[in-house]
Amino acid sequence: MRIRVGHLYPEYLNIYADRGNIAVLTRRAALRGHELVVTAISVGDALPADAYDLLYVGGGQDREQALIAPDLEAKSDALHAAHARGAAMLAVCGGYQLLGRGYRGRDGSFLPGAGLFGHETVAGDVRMIGDVLLECELEPGVRCRIAGFENHAGRTVLDPNATPLGRVIHGFGNDGSSGFEGCRLGRALGTYLHGPLLPRNPWLADWLLAQALGHATDGTPPQLEPLSDTLEQDAFRVAAERARKRGGRR
């Protein structure tokens, strides 16, 4: 199958090698005989609601977020439509913040967001930096762990009816106090976790690929044949151990 990926603002939102997530998805798809076709979608580019099986947006400094926020807000209807039609999504840090209702910077300025996720973010004075370990349940009864790295000033507050991506075991997470990290809305995932995220969390990469294939085939997400993820599991163990040792400490 051809899996069509829309990469939002790759030249603006790509800190901590967030574009590495695309490389992992490309490789893991190819190992199952699928081809990932990645299209960069930037300021002024169209976003047809049916054009992509997976949409991806990385993280960035406040300055870069300010450069793209008006364009992302203008794409809000298309993002909602793509989501409603079952496209998978992964949004990291600054991109995650702007898929909510908006981000208020330390200078008081407000960047309106796409309003897909039920949350809002306000920048605090102290950045939340370090390794993170989460527990999540994307499929009923299937508990998994995610390890990554966070660096954000933003404190994201989820709406009461919004679903977090996971429970923080070690780290700060959305706001350093709720005990939750990220947000999930069906096939759309938002997270503060960089690293990049997917090389050390291969099951999550496969979950996203399966959702994208479900969209591409207009069917249920398929079970992907397992890969021997020795290196990936080692990377996860190292990251999880760092989080255990240091995560969530100022």
Whole-angstrom Cα distance, residue 142 to residue 159? 24
**What letters, b where the CB count within 10 A reaches 16 and e where it falls short, cover 233-248?**
eebbeebbebbeeebb
**203 DSSP 8-state letter:** H
Q: Taking CB under 6 A as the rule, does residue 132 contact ligand GLN?
A: no
Phi and psi, residue 50, nearest 5°:
-105, 5
Q: Does 136 qualify as catalytic in the annotation?
A: no
The mark string for 18-37 relative to ligand GLN (x by CB under 6 A, - otherwise) is --------------------
Q: Binding-site residue total for ligand GLN (CB under 6 A)?
A: 14
Q: Taking CB under 6 A as the rule, does residue 152 contact ligand GLN?
A: yes
| Closest alpha carbon to 58 in 93, 89, 24 | 93
Q: Taking CB under 6 A as the rule, does residue 195 contact ligand GLN?
A: no
**163 DSSP 8-state letter:** B
Q: Does 93 qualify as catalytic in the annotation?
A: yes
Place of tokens 């807000």: 73
Q: Taking CB under 6 A as the rule, does residue 178 contact ligand GLN?
A: no
At 101, which amino acid appears?
R
Q: Is the CA virtual torsion 75, 173, 121, 67 positive or negative?
A: negative
Q: What angle do CA 106, 129, 61 make, to 5 degrees?
A: 45
Kindly name the residue from 93, 136, 152, 183 that is annotated as catalytic. Answer: 93
Q: Taking CB under 6 A as the rule, does residue 177 contact ligand GLN?
A: no
Q: Taking CB under 6 A as the rule, does residue 42 contact ligand GLN?
A: no
Q: Which is nearer to ligand GLN, 53 or 62 (CB)?
A: 62
Residue 74 CB neighbours (<10 A) = 14
| Closest alpha carbon to 92 in 188, 27, 24, 161 | 188
Q: Which is nearer to ligand GLN, 128 or 209 (CB)?
A: 128
Q: Taking CB under 6 A as the rule, does residue 153 contact ligand GLN?
A: yes
Q: Which residues pair with 39 in a beta bridge?
A: 6
- Report CA 208 to chain centroid distance, whole Å: 10
Find the part of the chain contacting ligand GLN (CB under 6 A) among 43-51, 54-62, 141-149, 204-212: 54-62
The mark string for 78-117 relative to ligand GLN (x by CB under 6 A, - otherwise) is ---------------xx--x--------------------
For helices 76-84 and 62-74, the axis angle rounded to 10 degrees is: 70
Q: Taking CB under 6 A as the rule, does residue 175 contact ligand GLN?
A: no
Q: Which residue in 39, 151, 163, 178 binds ligand GLN (CB under 6 A)?
A: 151
Find the part of the chain contacting ligand GLN (CB under 6 A) among 70-78, 133-141, 145-153, 166-174: 145-153
Q: Please report, as residue ranges, which positions from 1 to 20 form the binding site for ligand GLN (by CB under 6 A).
A: 15
Q: Which is nearer to ligand GLN, 72 or 224 (CB)?
A: 72
Which secondary-structure segment (H or E) carries 230? helix 230-246
The residues binding ligand GLN (CB under 6 A) are 15, 59-62, 65, 93-94, 97, 123, 151-154
Catalytic residues: 93, 194
